[in-house]
Structure 1
Amino acid sequence: MSSFRLAQLATVTGMCALILGGCVTGQRPTLVPTETIPAISDAAIQDVVTVLESDPTIAFTITYEVVTKFGDLHTAVSLAHDPAFGTSITIAEVRYIYLANGTTLTCSTITSDCSPGIDESRVSDRQLVSTIFKQASVDRMQQDSRVAVGSAVAAQEVIVDNPATCTTIPVVDGNGATQSKRYCAFTQFGVIASMDTADLAVTALSHSATTTADQFSA
């Protein structure tokens, strides 16, 4: 094992011992908790859902800009995943950590304080949740598929130099006008690459094939 891997493992193990009294070996980690999703009849939507339901087997870090359209709030977000350690999602100064053994933490990157569990209320003012890059987007697409006023349009794109599977879904807004909701998922990574809906615009800005130990701590 490389010295970098040893440093990562020591950091994560030490954090768990300090906060929760130690980590235990668990089943193979998933990016974030997912549920069994019934198939969607529109293949263009289901293709993106299938990508988001997959569990990546490689390490990566993606940075995003997220715009909350109501209030025009711009938020810097990063998502780091390493199969050996888990996943961290940093939204502004709040870091959500899903460790590989199933332990979850909510941390502040300002104070370095962590508390057990996932406290979504910490970013609710931005209309975000920690699972927006996976399960929450699947939930949105399920709902969109039920109210769509036509067939979704499938597309394949390249976003920050990585292939993405996309869908555009026609829906009717509160004023009776037809609008489109668009979702793209990184085919290799199983997470959102971009999203444009009535309330949020998510744009991937960069991709790295590495993670660092500090991404899995406060």
Structure 2
Amino acid sequence: MTEPLPRRRRSRLGVAIAAAGAAAVLSGCVTGQRPVLEPVPVIDDEAAEVVLDRLARAGSVPFTATYDIIPSTTGVTTTAVVRQLDGRRRVTVGDVDYLIDGGSSRTCRLESDDCDEFVNDALISDLNLTHRFWSDGIADRLVVDASRRTGFSEGRTDTIAGRSAACVDVPVLGGSVLYCALDEGVLARYFNADVSIELTSFTSEVDPESFSADADPRI
């Protein structure tokens, strides 16, 4: 059953983008340089707004989640584990482990123990995503797709990994893209031509010891 859609409003992400544009204007006035403004995507899609509002919560909630990620190029499933607690994040995608704690970050390859002292998304680029796939990494894609949709989006609610999720099918050139987010905020499902992402488990419990550099992040 489709939930009643809330009154149309501007997405939080759209507000942030607009604020950034305003900042660019002010910066240009202060420095005397001519500001260069990027076009702001216009979101006039209530069903997409519902999912965007949920994804906007993802950066602040404590949770442990597992995902199956399948790029269309290979059809091979890669397991990902995401943990977040008190500003700390650990995202493990296959053999690649991202540990972010405040202003420090590290990317390691678990099998070889080789590490970079920064977030190295190039190591998972073959999966057509970044380590932020569970939150704003996908929200950014939804903003673009919703602003370029070729027809009416379809909103609905689904049960994913045993939890309620808001979903939207966005029609785009060549087909449609499916986005779903849990009420708690994190990505629950994403299907497009390049990759599919499916939440397989979710809990609000997080083991603080899992953020230790010596802890094995795999479940």
Per the normalisation by structure 1, the TM-score is 0.73
Alpha-carbon distance in structure 1 between the residues aligned to 2:84 and 2:58 = 10
1:1-218 to 2 correspondences below 5 Å: 36-37=16-17, 40-55=43-58, 57-83=60-86, 86-99=88-101, 101-173=102-174, 179-188=175-184, 190-212=185-207, 213-217=209-213
Alpha-carbon distance in structure 1 between the residues aligned to 2:124 and 2:60 = 28
Change (3 A) 1:153 1:104: same
Change (3 A) 1:143 1:57: closer
Change (3 A) 1:57 1:127: closer
SS in 2 for 1:36: helix
Whether the 8 Å CA contact 2:188–2:199 is kept in 1: the answer is yes
Q: Structure 2: any 5+ residue segments left out of the alignment?
A: 1-14, 19-41, 215-219
Could you list the structure 1 runs, at least 4 aligned residues long, displaced by more than 6 angstroms after superposition. Answer: none
Q: Percent identity?
A: 23
SS in 1 for 2:170: strand
Paired positions, count: 176
- CA deviation digits over 1:126-151, x for unaligned, max 9? 22211111122112112211321112
SS in 1 for 2:55: helix
Whether the 8 Å CA contact 2:44–2:147 is kept in 1: the answer is no
Change (3 A) 1:116 1:147: same
1:215: how far off? 4.5
1:115: how far off? 2.4
Per the normalisation by structure 2, the TM-score is 0.73
SS in 1 for 2:16: coil
RMSD: 2.0
Give the counterpart letter for 2:187 in structure 1: I
Q: Structure 1: any 5+ residue segments left out of the alignment?
A: 1-34, 174-178
Whether the 8 Å CA contact 2:176–2:192 is kept in 1: the answer is yes
Alpha-carbon distance in structure 1 between the residues aligned to 2:148 and 2:213 = 40
Whether the 8 Å CA contact 1:160–1:205 is kept in 2: the answer is yes
Give the counterpart letter for 2:91 in structure 1: I
